Amino acid sequence: MNGKVVVITGASSGIGAALAETLASRGSAAIAGLGLVARREDALKAVADRCGAHGIVALPIAADVTSREAVRRAAGAAIARFGRVDVWINNAGRGITRMPSELTDDDVDEMMRVNVKSVIYGMQEILPHFKKRGDGHIINISSMLGRVPFATFRSAYCAAKHFMNALTATFRAEIQQTHPNIQISIVSPGVVHTDFGLNAVHGGIDSRQIEGQSAEEVARVIAGVIDSRLPDVYTRPGARNQIVKYYETLGVDA
């Protein structure tokens, strides 16, 4: 990765924290610095300390990424500390446990605010820096539920991730017309053994009780996307076949 500066949102726990430590373990030749963004300052500092044990400078940036101004400040703080940002990873997100027929206005607003607006803010606020440099990489962490909405109880979360995927693809198409060295990637995990289920709006089952991947496994895939700059990656083998099978079952004629 040639000493990249990487900013990770949602870095205080789960996939974000695992990714920070995975990148830090690669050493200073690969990682020039990490910007760790989340609301919980104490948890961020703990992740930063663990990254520091690998000799990596990790800057904790306490910010609520559902605020555009907070995201702008976070980007500015990372650039001021490291002199540049090479990779910006929009990882913050939240699930919901509610059937679609029961969704309220507040449910939909919360899913869009956390899972879509935070991504828009991240992409738009780091873009001027990337355009100035003529290079950069945005990675948006999506979900298999952004491809196949088979978890009805996740309803508005599925919808938000579909929205985010479309937004990412159109953003990429626009920006690469004039700045082909700016890449925007989507990474889609399935179930991950984190607090995601427990932290869902209206509560939920522990994601660790469902067959899935560890946060560390997903982090390794994301780290690989930083290397490869591929535009669209799934974290689980066989994911594409699972998607095709889902639509075949619906009787969709390709």
pLDDT tens per residue, range 191-210:
999 999 999 999 998 999 99
Distance CA 246, CA 254 (A): 13
174 class by beta-carbon count within 10 Å (0-12 exposed, 13-18 middle, 19+ buried): exposed
- DSSP one-letter code for 253: -
Q: Stretch 157-170: mean pLDDT, rounded?
A: 98
| 85, part of any domain | yes
CATH number at residue 64: 3.40.50.720
Confidence tier at 225 by pLDDT (50, 70, 90): very high
Asked if pLDDT for residue 1 goes beyond 50, the answer is no
Q: What spatial distance separates the first Cα and last Cα of the chain, rounded to whole Å?
A: 39
pLDDT in tens, 94-103: 999 999 999 9
Please indicate, yes or no, if residue 95 is contained in any of the structural domains.
yes
Q: What is the DSSP letter of 31?
A: E
Q: How many CB atoms lie within 10 A of CB 47?
A: 26
In a domain, 142, yes or no: yes
In a domain, 77, yes or no: yes
Q: Which of 157, 234, 246, 247 is catalytic?
A: 157
pLDDT at 251: 79
* Number of domains forming the structure of the chain: 1
pLDDT in tens, 61-108: 999 999 999 999 999 999 999 999 999 999 999 999 999 999 999 999
In the residue annotation, 121 being an active-site residue is answered as no
Band of residue 248 on the pLDDT scale cut at 50, 70, 90: confident
**Domain containing residue 195:** 4-249
Q: What is the pTM of this model?
A: 0.95
In a domain, 254, yes or no: no
50 within domain boundaries: yes
